[in-house]
Structure 1
Amino acid sequence: MGQYTFSNLPASEEEIDFSDLERKFALPEQEETLENVVVVDNLPRVEPAKEEKLTKYLQKLFKEAGKFKKDGVHMPKAEVDGKATTKGYAFIEFETAAQAQMAIRVGNGHRMPKAGQLLVNPFMDVERYIEVDNEYRAPPAEPFVEREHLKSWLADKYSRDQFVTLAGNKVNLYWNEPSQDPELVTSRENWTGSHVQWSPQGSYMCTLHRQGLVLWGGPSWKKLMQFVHPYIKYAEFSPSERYLVTLSLEPINSDMANELLGAERKHQNQFTVDDQGNMVCVWDVRTGTLLRSFPAPKNKDGSPAKILWPQFKWSPSEKYFARMTQGTGISIYEAPSMALLDKKSMKVSGIQDFAWCPRVLKDSRTGAKRPEMIAYWTPEEGNLPARVSLVSVPGRELLQSKNLFNVFSASLHWHPTGNMLCVRVQRFTKSKKSRFTNLELFRTGERDVPVDVVELTDSAVGFAWEPISENFRFAILHTDDPTPPPTNPNGIAMAPVKTSVSFYAFERKGKLVKKENFNLIKTLPNKNTNLLKWSPHGRHIVLATMNTMATCTLEFYDVDFDQNAASRSGKPGDSITMLGSSEHYNVTDLEWDPSGRYVITSASAWRQPAETGFIVWNFAGQQLHKFDTEAFKQILWRPRPHSLLSEEQKRKIRKDIKSYAREFDEEDERRLHAADAELMSQRRRLVSEWETWRQQVGEFLSAETDQALANGYKLPIAADNEDFVIEEVVEEIVEEKEEIIN
C-alpha cells in the first residue's frame, strides 16, 4: 500500500493501492493437473469391512514413494449379491507428481498374495484415453516392405557355414570351403568400432561403436536395429535372442548421449532421469525399446564391486534373468516386466557363484515341464560347511543340497542337456599344504536328484562335458601343481604346465554293472594341454596348448574310433585314438564350427603381435587353409539355431547315413572337378592374354622399326654373330657318408 498524507488521500475505495498486501497474503495457485494421481488396477474385490486393511497394505507398499493425501484413496464400489464391494481398482492421490511417478515404478508389476500382478498407471493417461475420438479414422496405409529373412544362410545349396574375421579395420564375411579358398560374402572397412559378435542363433551380427550397438542381418546385411548406449563395452543376448543386455563403464548421462548423437539423431536417445548414473541396460531386440537400466554392482557393504561379465544370467525359457551380489544373494527379475521376482531378492549368505540349468526339463513320468533350476555354492563360514544347493524358480524350493568340507574353491558345470551338473571342488588336504579335487555329480534329470562323487588324487584345472552323449562322458585336465604359470602383460604363459587328460563315462546298472557310477575310461599322461574343446556333436575333441610362448600343440582325438577293439578287450578306453597332431605358433583361440567338421585356430594381435592369422583344420587335424594376416584380431563361426528335428528323425537319418554320405561325396566330387575346370580355364585365359599382348607388342615394334628405317635410321650391327652355347650343370647327391678319422 502506498504512503498517503492528508493532501493526497484517495477519493474513493477503487483508488486505494492494495498491491503490497496482495503480494504478502497471496494464496498459492491451485494446480488443475492430476499428475499426482495414479490408478491401481487388479486389486482384490473387498467388502467395506476390509477396505481399511487394503488401504493400509497400499500405504505400506507405496511407503518408498511418499505419503497419500488426506482421504487420498478412493475405491469405487458396486453392488454384488446385495453387498457393496470394491471394483478391483483404486485412485490414489499423492502430495506431488514426482511421488506418483515413483509409485508407478514401485508398484507396477507387484504381485499381491492371492490376487494378481498390480498395474499402476498415471491418472492422466486414463483421461487421455477417454478423450479419444469415438469416430474411427483409418491410419494412412503404408506400403508393405518385405523384411529380409534373418536365417537365409541356412538355405545355402551346399549347407556351408559362415565365419567373420576382423583384421585391422576391415570386417570380412566368408563361406567356408573345404576344398578351395573361402568364398567372400561381403567386406567393409570400419564396420565396427571395437569388435564383432554373433547372436546365439546366428540371426544377428553386432558391431560396437562409441554411440552404442548396431544389429545387422539378412542377405544384404542391412542395419536392422540400433541401441544407443554410449561407450558400450560388452553385450549379451538371451538364449532365444529376444532380449539384449549391454554394459558401459561410463555411467549413463542423457546429455552426453545427445551430444554423441547430434541434433538430428538425439530423438533416438531413450534415457530418462531415472536412468542417470546406471551402467547396465536391458533391451527388447525386436522393437529396440529400453526395458530397464540397472546400476553397477555393489559389495555387501555398499562399496562398488568388481564388474564381471556377464552381469545377468538368463534362464533357458527367457522368463527370468538373475544377477548375484557377491556374498549377499541373487536378484531374480521377470521378463518382460523387468520386475524383481516376488519383490525381494533371494538371500544367500556368502554366495560365490550361481548358474541356471540350461534346459527346461520334463518330468519322466508325466512329460510335464518342471520348474526351472538355479545351482549355487557357498563357502565355509565359521562352523558351517561349504554347500552346493539346487533351487527351483519361481517357487524357490530347495531341490537338493550337499555339504562340503575343507573347500578352497568350486566351479559349476552344467551338461548342455541340463540332466547333469558337475561341481568341481578344489579341496585342501588335512595338513592344508596341498590340494586335490572332488567331482560332485548331480543327476538333475532323475527323481530326487541323486549325487555321485569322483575323487581325484591331484587337482583338476579343467573340465568339459561331451555335448551329446548317452553316457554323459566328460574330460578333465589334472595336474600335481595347480599353481598357474607366470604370464606376460598380455596373459601369455611363459612356459607350459605338465598335465594329464582323463576321460570318464556314466555306467548304468546291468548284468556286469551292479552300481551306477562314473568310471574312468582312459588317462593320457604327460601332456602340455591347457584347453579341452569338444565338437558340438560330440565324439571328437581337441587337446590344445593355448596362449603359451614355448609350446603350441594341437591334438585331435576320436573317442569312438575303434569300438570293436573296445568290445574285444572290455575296456572302453581302447576306442580313444589320436587322429592327428600339429602346431600353430602363437595360437590364442580355438573354435569348432557348428557342424563339428571343421576347427579354426587363430593368433590374435590383441594377445600377441607376431605372426597373426588363422588356420582351418578338419576334425582329423588335417590343415585345409592357412592365412597369415597382418593385424589380425578376431574370427568367429556363425552359430546355427537348434535343430527342429525330433530324436526319432535324427535316429532315422543316422541309420541311413551311408546313403546320404554317397550323395554328399558325389556332390563334393562334382564341385572339386568344377573348381579344377575353373582353374584350368583361368590359366588358359591368362596364357591367351599373354600371347595377345606379345603379338601386339611385336606388331608395334615392327611398325616402329620400319618407320625408323624409312627416316634413315641404321640398325646397330652385332659385333660378333657367332652362336653362344649356354651350359647348365646340375649336381645331385646320391649318397652321403660320415667317417670319424682318429
Structure 2
Amino acid sequence: MSEISEEEYLQLEKEINLDDIDFSDLEEKYEADTGSDNIVVVDGAPIAPEAKVPILIKVLRKLFSTVGEIVEGDEGVFMPMENGKSKGFLFIQYKTVDEADVAIKKLNGKKLDSQHRLLVNKLSDIEKYASIKSEFQEPKIEPFKSHGYLQSWLQDEQGKDQIVLHFNENVGVYWNKKASEPEPVIEPRKGFTSKYAKFSPKGTYLFSIHPQGVQSWGGSDFHSVRRFFHNQVRLVDFSPNEKYMVTLSPAPISLPDSVAERQQFPFGPESEGHKLVIWDLATGEPVRTFALPPHLENQKEMPWPLVKWSFDDKYCARQGPDALAIYETPSFQLLDKKLVKIDGIQDFEWAPAGVKLHNSKSKTGEHILSYWTPESTNHTARVAIMHIPSRQVLRTVNLFQVSDCKMHWQSEGKLLCVKVDRHTKSGKTIFSNLDFFKLSEKDIPVEKLEFKDVIINFSWEPKSERFVTISRLDDGNPNPAIPKNTISFFAQEDTKGKNANPKYKSYKTIENKHSNTVIWSPKGRYVVVASITRPSGEIDFYDVSFDDETSKKGLPANVKLLKSSNYAGMTNLAWDPSGRFLSAWSSAWLHAIDNGYRIYEFTGNLLRDDSVDQFKDFIWRPRPESLLTNSDRKKVRANLREYSAQFEELDAMEADAALKEAILARRKALEDWRAYRAKHVSKKVQTSEVQAEIIEEIKEEILEEKEEIVE
C-alpha cells in the first residue's frame, strides 16, 4: 500500500464529515472522568411547595453535612421544581469523592420521617445504568481452570505420609522417611503464613492465614487454589467432609466506601458488623455470616469452634444464650425457622457418626446431639440426648451438686460418656462420675461409674468401647512436683447370655505419675500416655491387647507397657493417620527450650531426633477414610505376611544404600534369567535318530540261608 501525501490527507479530511461517524463504542471504552463522582442524587425526599423548599433544603443540608463537607451555595444543593412544587429528589455536591462515598454508605435507606425514606446514589452510577443496552449480551464465562488431582499424595507407591514443618518464618511440606531426613515435596516457603498452617480434615487442602484472609493450596505442587477475604482473621475450622470452612476475626466486617470496591467485596450490607463467616470451599463464596453473641464479645479466651457440624455436613449448630440455633445446609436457614429454646445451655456436641438407635430403620444412622444445663434455683443439672430434625429429647438424666460436665462421644456413636465433676455439700472437695449413655439399646440405659478422684483426662479408643482415664485426688495439696496422677485402663467385662449387661471394669491401674495427656493411635490398640509441658516430658507407649499367656484367657484388655521415653520441653504429640508413627515436638510458640521434633514408632522406638532452631509446628497430612470393602480387607489380612516381607525389604533398602544396590542388582539378574529362559525354552531339543531298545533283566540274589528243625 502506497503512502498518502500531506496534500491528499488534508483534502481527505475536508471531504469526511465527522458528525456522521459513531464514536459511542470508543467513548464507552475510553470513558473520561467527567467530575460527577462527588455528586449524589437523593430520592424519596418530601414534595414541598415552593415557599417551604428553603426550609427543606436547610434540613437536608444539615443532615448530609454530618458525613462530609458540601459545596457552598446553590451548587452544593440543587432541588428541581415543577408546577410550584419540588419533584421529590435533589442533587448534593460534596467537595471530594470520598465524602460522597461515605454519604451513600451511611445515609442510603435512612428514614427522614415515618413516610419518607431517602435513597442515595451517585450521579455517575445513575447515568451509567440508564444507558444499559436493551439487547441481551451473553456474559463472559471464564474458562474452567483445573487444579489437577488434589489427592495425588495418596498414589505414593510406598504409602508414605506427608508432613508440614513450620520453623522460623518458613513452612515446608515433606515426605516422612522414618529415620532418614524428610524428603521435600516442595521447597520451604518463607512467609507462607503470618500465623499458622492447617490441613482440611481429609487432607485435600492446606490453608495459610494472612492479615487479608485465608489462602488454600493443593495439588502435587501445592499451588494456589482459592482466596477467602476476611480481614484480620484469627481462627479457622472445617466441616467433617470439607464442604465448608468457618473463620473468625476480631474486626467486624465493614463495607468499603468505594462503589467499585464494593463490587469486588464478598459481603453485602446484611453482613455489616459481623465477625463469624461460613464459606463454601468449592465456590469460595460466603454462605452465612453471624455477629458474636454479646457474652462472647469481651471474653478473653474464645471457645472454639463456635459452629459445630453433624457427621455428614447436613446440619450445623451454634450456641447462644438460652438457645441452640440449628441450620440446614446448603440453605443455612434455621431448622423449622426457629431456635431450640434450652434455658441455661452450657455446651453441646454432635454424635461423630450416624447413631443406630434401637429399632431404627436408617441405614446411615440418625443425627443425634447431646447438651447439658447447670443447676439453678428451681432445676437440677441436666444432660439430654436430642434427635435432629425432630427435636425430640430421647433421654434425660438429672444431676446434683455439679461443678462441670464434659461430653465424650465414642467414634461410632454407640456410646456417650459424660464426665461429671461434682462437689461435696461444703464445696471444698471435687470428685468425678462417668455416665455412659448406651444409644443402641432400648430406652437408652445409663451406666454410672463413681470415683473418689477428679478425672482430668478421658479418651475413648477409636472404634472400640475401651477407654483410658487420668485422675488425681483433690486433697487440697496442688503441689505439681509430687506425682499424684493415676492412669486407669477400662473395658467392659466379658459376660455371656442374651440378658447380659456388661459393666465397665478397670483392668490396669498405674499410680503416682505426672502424666496429663492420653492420645490413642487412630487404628486403636496402641495408646500413648504422656506428661506435656512438664520438665520431665515422659512418654509411655502401651499395648492394650498384648499377645501373651494372659491374652489367651479371653480378657477384653491386656495392658502392657512397651517402652518409656523422656523428652524435656515437649509441648505437643500427634499420631500419623496410619497409626505407625508418633511425632513429639517442642514449639517455639510456647518456649525456647530444645526446639525441634522427634518421630517414634508405635512401639516406642525412637526413629528420628532433630533439633531445629525456632521450630514451631509439626503437622501430619490427614487421609480420607479407606475405600477398601470388607472383602478387600480380608484379602489383605490373608496375604499380610507377603505384604510385610515386601515392606520390610523396602525399609531395608531405604535404610542402607549398599543393601539397596545389592537387592536391585539381584532383581535385575533374576529378570535377565527369566527373559533368557523365556526366549530359549520354546526351542526344540535336537535328538539322534538311533532307536532305543529296552531290555528287562531279573536277577535273584540269596542274602541269607537259615535251617530250623521243628519237632
Would you say the 8 A contact 2:530–2:540 is kept in 1? Answer: yes
The alpha-carbon deviation at position 519 of structure 1 amounts to 1.9
Q: CA deviation at 1:357?
A: 0.6
Matched, 1:314 2:309: yes
Aligned to 1:621: 604
Tell me, in whole angstroms, the C-alpha distance in 2 between the residues paired with 1:485 and 1:162. Answer: 41
In 1, the alpha carbon distance for the partners of 2:499 and 2:642 equals: 37
Note the alpha carbon deviations across 1:385-405, whole angstroms, 9 max, x for none. Answer: 111000011110011111111
The residue aligned with 2:355 is: 361
Question: Any idea what SS the aligned residue of 1:564 has?
Answer: coil
Conserved? CA contact 2:355–2:368, under 8 Å: no
AA matched with 1:561: F
Instruction: Give the match for residue 269 of structure 1.
Output: 265
Asked whether the equivalents of residues 458 and 469 of structure 2 are also in contact (C-alpha less than 8 Å), the reply is: yes
In structure 2, C-alpha distance between the alignment counterparts of 1:132 and 1:449, rounded to whole Å: 66
Corresponding residue of 1:294? 290
| Structure 2 counterpart SS, 1:332 | strand
Question: 1:644 Cα deviation (Å)?
Answer: 1.8
Structure 2 residue aligned with 1:173: 173
CA separation of 1:248 and 1:485: change in aligned 2, threshold 3 A? farther
User: What's the secondary structure of 1:274's corresponding residue?
Assistant: helix
1:631 aligns with 2:614: yes
Residue in 1 that maps onto 2:335? 341
Q: Which amino acid aligns with 1:577?
A: K
1:658 to 641, 645, 650: 641
Deviation track 1:110-131 (CA, whole Å, cap 9, x = no partner) reads xxxxxxxxxxxxxxxxxxxxx8
d(CA) in 2 for partners of 1:576 and 1:229? 49
Over 3 Å counting, the alpha-carbon distance change for 1:450 and 1:152 in structure 2 is same
Q: Which residue of 1 aligns with 2:529?
A: 543
Deviations 1:450-498 (A, max 9, x none): 21111112111100000022xx000000110388968xxxxxxx64652
Residue by residue over 1:705-725, the C-alpha shift from the partner in whole angstroms, topping out at 9 and shown as x without a partner, is xxxxxxxxxxxxxxxxxxxxx
Distance in 2 (CA, whole Å) between partners of 1:660 and 1:484 is 54
Q: Secondary structure at the match of 2:153?
A: helix
CA distance in 1, matches of 2:246, 2:80: 60
The structure-2 alpha-carbon separation of the partners of 1:204 and 1:375, relative to structure 1 and needing over 3 Å to count, comes to same
Cα shift readout 1:669-720 (whole Å, capped 9, x = no counterpart): 33334476689xxxxxxxxxxxxxxxxxxxxxxxxxxxxxxxxxxxxxxxxx
Deviation at 1:337, TM superposition (A): 1.3
CA distance in 2, matches of 1:351, 1:557: 38
CA contact (8 A) 2:175 2:182 kept: yes
> Any idea what the Cα deviations from partners look like across 1:633-656, whole Å, max 9, x if unmatched?
111100001112234543443344
Matches of residues 373-522 of structure 1 in structure 2 within 5 Å?
Answer: 373-469=368-464, 472-481=465-474, 495=481, 497-507=483-493, 509-510=495-496, 514-522=500-508
Quote the Cα distance in structure 1 between the aligned partners of 2:478 and 2:266: 47
The Cα of 1:95 is off from its aligned counterpart by 8.6
Give the Cα separation in 1 of the matches to 2:485 and 2:555: 23
Going from structure 1 to structure 2, the CA distance change for 1:305 and 1:166 (only over 3 Å counts) comes to: closer
Residue 236 of structure 1: CA displacement? Answer: 0.7
Task: Using structure 2 for the length normalisation, give the TM-score.
Answer: 0.72
Describe the SS at the equivalent of 1:255.
coil
- CA distance in 2 between counterparts of 1:430 and 1:552 reads 37
- 1:732 is matched with none
Query: Deviation per CA, 1:30-57, whole angstroms, max 9, x where unpaired?
Result: 99xxxxxxxxxxxxxxxxxxxxxxxxxx
1:512 deviates by: 12
Say if 1:212 and 1:227, in contact at 8 Å, map to a contact too.
yes
User: What TM-score comes out, normalization by structure 1 length?
Assistant: 0.69
Deviation at 1:28, TM superposition (A): 3.7
1:296–1:307 CA contact under 8 A, matched in 2? no
2:579 counterpart residue number: 596
Counterpart of 2:174 in structure 1: which amino acid?
Y
Following TM superposition, by how much is the alpha carbon of 1:144 offset from its aligned partner in structure 2, in angstroms? 5.9
In structure 2, C-alpha distance between the alignment counterparts of 1:192 and 1:675, rounded to whole Å: 41
Displacement after TM superposition at 1:207 (Å): 0.3
**Structural mapping, 1:561-580, within 5 Å:** 561-568=546-553, 572-573=556-557, 575-580=558-563
What is the CA–CA distance in structure 2 between the aligned matches of 1:231 and 1:200, rounded to whole Å? 23
Query: Cα 1:266–1:403, aligned 2, differ >3 Å: closer, same or farther?
Result: same
Range with bigger deviation, 655-664 or 580-589:
655-664
- 1:213-224 mapped onto 2 (5 Å cutoff): 213-224=214-225
What is the distance in 2 between the residues matched to 1:579 and 1:532?
15
User: Closer, same or farther in 2 for the Cα pair 1:482/1:671, shift >3 Å?
Assistant: farther
Specify whether residues 269 and 435 from structure 1 end up closer, same or farther in structure 2 by C-alpha distance, changes over 3 A only.
same
Give the Cα separation in 1 of the matches to 2:569 and 2:530: 12
Equivalent-residue separation in structure 1 for 2:572 and 2:563 (angstroms): 19
* CA spacing shift, 1:227–1:590, aligned 2, 3 Å: same
The CA distance in 2 between the partners of 1:460 and 1:150, in whole Å, is 42
Partners of 2:419 and 2:548 in 1: how far apart? 30
**Structure 2, unpaired ranges of 5+:** 1-49, 52-77, 91-108, 120-133, 663-711
Question: What amino acid maps onto 2:576 in structure 1?
Answer: D
Please state how far the C-alpha of 1:508 moved relative to its aligned partner.
5.7
Superposed, 1:66-81 pairs within 5 Å as none
The one-letter amino acid paired with 2:542 is Y
- Counterpart Cα distance in 2 of 1:282 and 1:410: 28
Structure 2 equivalent of residue 254 of structure 1: 255
Partner residue, 2:156: 156
Deviations 1:192-247 (A, max 9, x none): 11110010000000000010000001001110000000111011111111111000
Q: 1:138 to 1:269 in 2, by over 3 A?
A: closer
Instruction: Give the alignment's Cα RMSD to 1 decimal.
Output: 3.7
Q: Give 1:23 shift.
A: 6.5
